[in-house]
Amino acid sequence: MTQPTELTELTAVQLVDGYRKGEFSPVEATRAALERAERIQPEVNAFVRLTAEDALARAAESAQRWRRGEPAGAVDGVPVTVKDLLLLRGTPTLRGSRTIDPEGRWDEDAPSVARLREAGAVFLGKTTTPEHGWKGVTDSPLTGVTRNPHDLSRTAGGSSGGAAAAVALGAGPLALGTDGGGSVRIPAAFCGIFALKPTYGRVPLYPASAFGTLAHVGPMTRDAADAALLLDVIGAPDSRDWSALPPAPGSFVQALSDGIHGLRVAYSPSLGGQVAVRPDVTTAVRHAVEQLAELGAYVTETDPDITEPMDAFHTLWFSGAARVIQHFGPHQRELLDPGLREICDLGARLTALDYLAAVDVRMDLGRRMGHFHDTYDLLVTPTLPITAFEAGAEVPKGSGHRRWTGWTPFTYPFNMTQQPAATVPVGADGDGLPVGMQIVAARHRDDLVLRTAHALYEAGVAGVATPSPQTTRYDERSEPSPS
């Protein structure tokens, strides 16, 4: 009989295959994932709440369907976590904030959650976020600091930090995150897992984000094959999102087998010298790029025409944050994360003309990237120029950065252009902290991103980074046999 520890190490694809063959059940997998979540929670703080009773009930229903040979969908019985910015029916969505009343009705699912529910997925609980997802690390006045599985003194990144830590430590192979400036890619890179920010509109979003069309919903998983499986499920239209795309032209899972032979890849190690990248990061990413060439891609070292769009991004981001708290009274404002309150004050002073000027910058950046992809199928960069830094800080100590955007120059531009972008774990620095490589494609070519990442996993270049010895003690404690 497969033991719980082994079940937590399996991908969603492997779990479904095991259910189909009768090797283990969704109940066993769910119990193993819940036990892992409970064990990591005191030190890593990945969860806002666990929904164990509901999860086990859904797992039991799934087990019955599998025994009949009638699964409800492609992820029937697979444990999934949901970032606490997305609605999960029957569970409060508190957004990392002390200003939200947990006694609300909570009677609706977000579109991505609804598609997973229809497909029989098992919801383990809600994962942590900074307040309203405003920054690139995960700590909030409501839930405190979420820590990195590889070094508990370091940040897990953000804003989907709880989701990344949960996947990295085996508390569910699938996670839903959100990304408005890098928020699935940043924590995935810091924690050593895979994450995809799909083309805007590929995964519907409701309620609409205050950050507008910068905000995407994306898969956070153990590998690219799991992300393709998840995207096939959640990438369906929903009438509540007027900007949602029509159904994808084909299955993302089926596209994985197409390989990367002949793809034209542009490798930009530092955006033309605009970004200071740590040597360990550069080395790991360059090695992975060399492997792309060995797998048959045509690689050229060149840079996209990206001039620093930070001021325009800040205008869009800060004004969105100001909109979140527009109707808050003085008492509610006092409860906010001080950093969030600061950018909200800045955003409130921006004018409509300021906003429209930022939109002009965004549209021009999108035009330039569209032209770039006339020549190159893919752009490859480091996901981040650094590895995980101290937990509880918005920026690395001594970096000179004022805001989180200072150390995420490779991620947020592609929220402005709405392109698909993924991070793949491709190694570690001298301290054993994961390094991520970013893969970007033209809008609507999510398949190319997933194909390329999958090729790296198949070649053994990419893989889930093993947490450090300090977290392996979670596995050393005795575990009960599955029932």
Query: Out of 25, 112, 160, 183, which one is annotated catalytic?
Result: 183
Catalytic residue chosen out of the listed positions 25, 83, 97, 135: 83
Catalytic residue among 62, 97, 159, 268: 159
Q: Is 159 a catalytic residue?
A: yes
CB 112 within 8 A of CB 211: no
Q: Which residue has the tokens 């997998």?
A: 29
- Neighbour order of strands in the sheet with 216-221: 47-50, 122-127, 79-83, 174-179, 216-221, 194-197, 421-428, 434-441, 378-382, 264-267, 298-301
Cα(127)–Cα(84) distance, integer angstroms: 6
Can you give the three-state secondary structure of the chain, one letter per residue?
CCCHHHHHCCCHHHHHHHHHHCCCCHHHHHHHHHHHHHHHHHHHCCEEEECHHHHHHHHHHHHHHHHHCCCCCCCCCCEEEEECCCCECCECCCCCCCCCCCCCCCCCCCHHHHHHHHCCCEEEEEECCCHHHCCCCCEECCCEECEECCEEEEECCCCCHHHHHHHHCCCCCEEEEEECCCCCHHHHHHHCCEEEECCCCCCCCCCCCCCHHHCEEEEEECCHHHHHHHHHHHCCCCCCCCCCCCCCCCCHHHHHHHCCCCCEEEECCCCCCCCCCCHHHHHHHHHHHHHHHHCCCEEEECCCCCCCCHHHHHHHHHHHHHHHCCCCCHHHHHCCCHHHHHHHHHHHCCCHHHHHHHHHHHHHHHHHHHHHHHHCCEEEEECCCCCCCECCCCCCCCCCCCCHHHHCCCCCHHHHCCCCEEEEEEEECCCCCEEEEEEEECCCCHHHHHHHHHHHHHCCCCCCCCCCHHHHHHHHCCCCCCC
- By annotation, the residues acting in catalysis are 83, 159, 183
